[in-house]
Amino acid sequence: MTLPVIPLENDRPADTRDDDVAALADFIGKWRARWPEWVIAETFVPTHQRETALAWATLQQEFTDAAWGGSDPRPGLAKLGWWQEELNGWTRGARRHPIAIVLQAVPAPWQALAAALPSLADTRERPASVADAFASLEPFALAISNIDSAMFGADAGVDVHQVVAANLLHSRMVHDGDDHVPLDMLARAGRGDARAAWTSELARQWPEVRASTRVRRLWAALANQRLRSNAPFEPIPTWKALWIAWRSAQH
């Protein structure tokens, strides 16, 4: 799929000014609103990585909201097309989005991530099966995994894109409707609650491989716990979030 490029409102260079810093805080605030337990979990992230982790989590949410949000796919496709240009610009020293204040200087494969965005757009269609749900996200999950490694360090040769794909599948549940539920899960649920059935199945299918970066381990553990609690949108209680984060931070 070729993503259209449609200028967004207030499309302008994102020099580091007070209003850009405020805009960045607003974007990060949207992610924190979905993950309030991160206040607890981020204490296990090295201090020098916390701002990067927040900006990177926020950017991933921008991508998935564009790909899967709304009843009309066209605005999201336009946003993803804009992001392709933005990411490619980062390698040339150009930037427009406030997130670039934090991320542009990070030496990561941004162009490869830009090239993977059309594959994310293609996943808007309902997957045929659980296996298809994971497989369809593989190109994008690989690109995300490589960014994780560049940002936070990882063991050479470790491939944990399956964990990233599981994280993405959980993220998709926040959007309205049941388009994220694979067809085989709809058939299995029959007249029952297909979304609940998929929540349980994704928890069961969660990859056993352990993410090699601490930040991804924390994100994955929190998402997995929400699934296992049969409450994919509900924050984890503070005491449990603390225990999960402590355990996930260990090597």
pLDDT tier at 17, thresholds 50, 70, 90: low
In the predicted structure, residue 166 carries a pLDDT above the cut 50: yes
Q: What is the arithmetic mean of pLDDT over 218-224?
A: 97
DSSP state letters, the chain:
-PPP--PPTT-----S-HHHHHHHHHHHHHHHHH-TTHHHHGGGS-HHHHHHHHHHHHHHHHHHHHHH-SS-HHHHHHHHHHHHHHHHHHTTT---STTHHHHTTS-S-HHHHHHHHHHHHHTTSPPSSHHHHHHHTHHHHHHHHHHHHHHH---TT---HHHHHHHHHHHHTTSSSSTTS-HHHHHHHTTS-HHHHHHHHHHHT---SPPSSHHHHHHHHHHHHHHHTT-TTSPPPHHHHHHHHHHHH--
pLDDT tier at 4, thresholds 50, 70, 90: very low
Q: Tell me the pLDDT tens digit for each residue of 111-163.
A: 999 999 999 999 999 999 999 999 999 999 999 999 999 999 875 445 689 99
Most confident stretch, 3-7, 152-156, 242-246: 242-246
Looking at residue 251, its pLDDT comes to: 63
The mean of the pLDDT values for the chain is 90
In the predicted structure, residue 54 carries a pLDDT above the cut 50: yes
